[in-house]
Amino acid sequence: MRALSFAVALAALMPVHFVFAADAVTSSATRDYSIASGPLGDTLAQFAALSGVPLSFDANLLNARQSPGLQGRYTVEAGFARLLEGSGYDLQRTGSGFTLAPHVSADGALELGATTINSAADGVALDTYGGGQVARTARLGLLGNRSINDVPFSVVSYTAKTIADQQARTVGDVLLNDASVRQSAGFGNFSQVFTIRGLPLQSDDIAFNGLYGVLPRQIITTEALERVELFKGPNAFLNGVAPQGSGIGGSVNLVPKRAEDAPTRSVTLDYASDTQVGGHLDLGQRFGVDNRFGARINLAQHGGDTAIDDETKRSSLIAIALDYRGERLRLSTDLGYQKQRIDNGRSVVYPTGTKVPDAPSAKDNYAQDWTWSQLEDTYGMVNGEYDLSDNWTLYAGAGAKHTRENGQYSSLYVGNDGSGRVGFLYSPHDEDNKSAMAGLNGHFNTGPVTHQMNFGLSGIWGEQRSAFEAILVANRVPGNLYNPTQVPRPSVTYFGSDIHDPRIVGKNRIKSAAVSDTLGFLDDRVLLTLGVRRQTIEVDAWNTTSGVRNANYDESITTPVYGLVIKPWEHVSFYANRIEGLAQGPTAPTTGVTNPGEVFAPKRSKQTEAGVKLDWDSYGATLGVYRIEQPNNSTSFTPGVVNGTFNVDGEQINKGVELNVFGEPLDGLRLLAGATWMDTELKKTAGGATDGNRAAGVPRFQFNVGADWDVPGIEGAAVSGRLLRTGGEYVNAANTLSIPAWTRVDLGARYGFKADDKYITLRANVENVANKAYWASASTANNYLTQGEPRTVKLSATVDF
């Protein structure tokens, strides 16, 4: 006993290392770990961080011992047992937590003092950087869930806390936190289109738990999301070809909420100017032996007038997430229904003169009162994982969705003084998608080299049905950007298909198989990722007006990836990659060219990137440089020959430098900041007309400075601010039309407090505080403008009970 008392007293006098987690996981839950060898104290801290178990230990005692690290799938107790083999410590359960106690031999001898692992309900969530706004891990397609600092790519993962504190209603609101992303409206409708590294990402090409083609089209709400993961750069190897072929500059994956070990019972009431009111109910519970079964339900409803004059929006969401987590088997299913209705939605603007007119007042609405859009999506997916052994896991997933989209749209075509003409389009659209994936991943060693192997199959099957009514250019009615007047709905002058029963206009089938290996050298301080994916794209298309088949596309191509991570020091990772993007190749026109109807192979885009990532536990930073080469269509002409030759030898080159800072560098101060500088060039354009020009819709720079600060002396109170700065950009490839740079400032505050046994959080945010009028973006392909949102006040009260 005297030996034990001395050991305990000695431990109390020595430095103690603390690690806490916000929610302790159940010890029976299993997950994959990849922890490099090193001092025992460091490996224990990493394991505790990844598993969610709060940890308090004597670093001086434990770091004197070396650990081989941990590779594979383990429960909390099994992982600790493996790490502690031969260390002289045993794992003991004490109430709600664990204790590391020195091993007692048969004669009762005791050598070292005890170290305790507590199970606390508060502290810092170690799967995130300080402040909980950005996660340390993200799902990278075939590679699975990986630590951001261990992969050779630029990735950021925004959490549900960021979504809640900023009152972000849509995925677009969340992505504005990154300086490499800006947003515009869709072509002829009100969808959200994201420009990443100067190249567009359609909302149709956003993944859900790694599956394409499952999410709602056009606009995606956030109430049921746990993470919004942004991958920067082409990603044809990681995720396969996106259904619409966009996302060359980057991709987005959404992670749904799951039931946590602590029950979730939350209700939020909110308001947004002018009269948008609504609520959100979030209920989650685990039950059964070891909390193996879980259910999470999110219900949301919003509606009313927006801050834009005469514009009205309504939205509804039902999302149900069920899951099971056993010793070896894990299952989950996600079911959802989303409906959006927009009346008098502000239209995009097409400049037709020799200059772009100034943006009107931020609140002005130049849409016609007969415009509307309704988006209705029903979707679902199921996923499963089974551990074949400690080293190998089999997984599979499948999903489907049905979309019904309808709307009348009026775009405005304006001259130098803002006067112009109003177009008309009515376009019902139905869509059905099915998506599936399966694979095997595992790890093993060959001598001193570690391997993380992945094998995967994926497929998407889609069918689109569309019709339209429209007017000819000559029949457009008068309109004005600054003095809009309401006109009757124009008479239809031409149409396609039956608007009451749209015919099939497209079918697509995208299938692929992939394999990769991440080789670890020097105790995984050097990680080399090699992989290849074979992809087949099959597309059938029919003319909407005549119903005549006008495309029959079937091409295959192989896309490789090479990536390297070097970690010379504890907090520093250097990375480099060469990765490709892929999209359906074009088909030559049937007239006016020497090669009518020729089908071209899939368009392969290429990126090379290098950079450095810094991780100081509570905050991190990344700095990278990249070059993306994207092929473009062009038609070349020979002197004396009437028809030209259609080909794909044109090229757009985007080069850039990116800087990002995130986390909590000072106690109570959290940052989401970044900057990107971009240079673009067009090459081998049709007839050389725009060779050397900048690409349309790509500014030279984009800056974000966001900060969130705890108010001293007032527990639970915080204030926030964000500045968005975007450089000027050209509207057309000829570089004759341009829009100026713009700056937007957002401010916010929140206060959380406990009332009886309930926790209440009050939030207030003001976006575009100065009500700045500006053109937010120019379309990269269709030469239209999207105006920035006006000053918008958002208020909410959340009660956790």
Section 672-692 average pLDDT: 93
Write down which residue in 117, 151, 179 finishes a domain.
Answer: 117
Asked, for residue 132, whether it belongs to a domain, the answer is no
Write down which residue in 117, 139, 173 finishes a domain.
Answer: 117
Question: What percent of the chain stands above pLDDT 70?
Answer: 89
Section 377-381 average pLDDT: 98
Section 675-681 average pLDDT: 97
Alpha carbons 182 and 173: distance in angstroms, whole number? 10
Section 71-97 average pLDDT: 70
Write down which residue in 117, 151, 183 finishes a domain.
Answer: 117
Section 571-591 average pLDDT: 87
Section 71-91 average pLDDT: 76
pLDDT of residue 117: 39
- In this prediction, residue 14 has a pLDDT band, given cuts at 50, 70 and 90, of very low
User: Is the pLDDT reported for residue 10 higher than 50?
Assistant: no
Asked, for residue 27, whether it belongs to a domain, the answer is yes
pLDDT of residue 222: 97
CATH number at residue 105: 3.55.50.30
Please, what is the average pLDDT of the chain? 88
User: Is the pLDDT reported for residue 512 higher than 80?
Assistant: yes
pLDDT of residue 122: 32
pLDDT of residue 598: 75
pLDDT of residue 82: 80
Residues present in the chain in total = 801
Alpha carbons 499 and 361: distance in angstroms, whole number? 36
Predicted TM-score (pTM) of the model is 0.84
Asked, for residue 207, whether it belongs to a domain, the answer is no
Alpha carbons 437 and 796: distance in angstroms, whole number? 39
User: Is the pLDDT reported for residue 24 higher than 80?
Assistant: no
Section 331-352 average pLDDT: 96
pLDDT of residue 15: 36
User: Is the pLDDT reported for residue 22 higher than 50?
Assistant: no
- In this prediction, residue 93 has a pLDDT band, given cuts at 50, 70 and 90, of low
Asked, for residue 217, whether it belongs to a domain, the answer is no
Alpha carbons 297 and 316: distance in angstroms, whole number? 14
Alpha carbons 517 and 560: distance in angstroms, whole number? 12
> Under a CB-based contact definition with an 8 Å cutoff, are residues 31 and 73 in contact?
yes
CATH number at residue 307: 2.40.170.20
- In this prediction, residue 18 has a pLDDT band, given cuts at 50, 70 and 90, of very low
Indicate the pairing of strand 250-256 with strand 207-208. Answer: parallel
Alpha carbons 645 and 626: distance in angstroms, whole number? 32
Q: Which residue has the tokens 């048969």?
A: 106
201-246: pLDDT as tens digits:
999 999 999 999 999 988 999 999 999 999 999 999 998 999 988 9
519-552: pLDDT as tens digits:
999 999 999 999 999 999 999 988 888 788 877 8
388-441: pLDDT as tens digits:
999 999 999 999 999 999 999 998 999 999 999 999 999 999 999 999 999 999
pLDDT of residue 16: 39
Q: What is the CA radius of gyration of the chain?
A: 28
Asked, for residue 158, whether it belongs to a domain, the answer is no
Write out the two tokens for 284.
């989650």
Asked, for residue 223, whether it belongs to a domain, the answer is no
Least confident of 13-27, 33-47, 276-290: 13-27
Q: Which residue has the tokens 């994207």?
A: 630
Q: Which residues pair with 612 in a beta bridge?
A: 574, 623
Section 259-279 average pLDDT: 95
pLDDT of residue 19: 42
Least confident of 100-114, 271-285, 459-473, 660-674: 100-114
Section 184-194 average pLDDT: 85
User: Is the pLDDT reported for residue 742 higher than 60?
Assistant: yes
Helix residue spans in 222-327 (DSSP H) = 236-239
Of 378 and 642, which is predicted with more confidence? 378
Least confident of 19-28, 216-225, 518-527, 565-574: 19-28
Least confident of 116-125, 581-590, 672-681: 116-125
Judged by phi (left if over 0) then psi (alpha if -120 to 50, else beta), residue 388 lies in alpha
pLDDT of residue 27: 47
Alpha carbons 175 and 252: distance in angstroms, whole number? 9
Question: What percent of the chain stands above pLDDT 90?
Answer: 70
- In this prediction, residue 492 has a pLDDT band, given cuts at 50, 70 and 90, of confident
Asked, for residue 180, whether it belongs to a domain, the answer is no
Asked, for residue 235, whether it belongs to a domain, the answer is no
pLDDT of residue 580: 94
3-state secondary structure of 272: strand
Q: Give the residue from 214, 582, 190, 210 showing the smallest Cα distance to 381.
A: 214
Q: Give the residue from 92, 138, 149, 87 showing the smallest Cα distance to 119.
A: 92
pLDDT of residue 637: 66
pLDDT of residue 55: 61
User: Is the pLDDT reported for residue 123 higher than 50?
Assistant: no
Q: How many domains does the chain have?
A: 2
Residue 69 lies in domain = 2-117
pLDDT of residue 58: 56
User: Is the pLDDT reported for residue 59 higher than 60?
Assistant: no
Section 167-189 average pLDDT: 92
Section 317-321 average pLDDT: 98
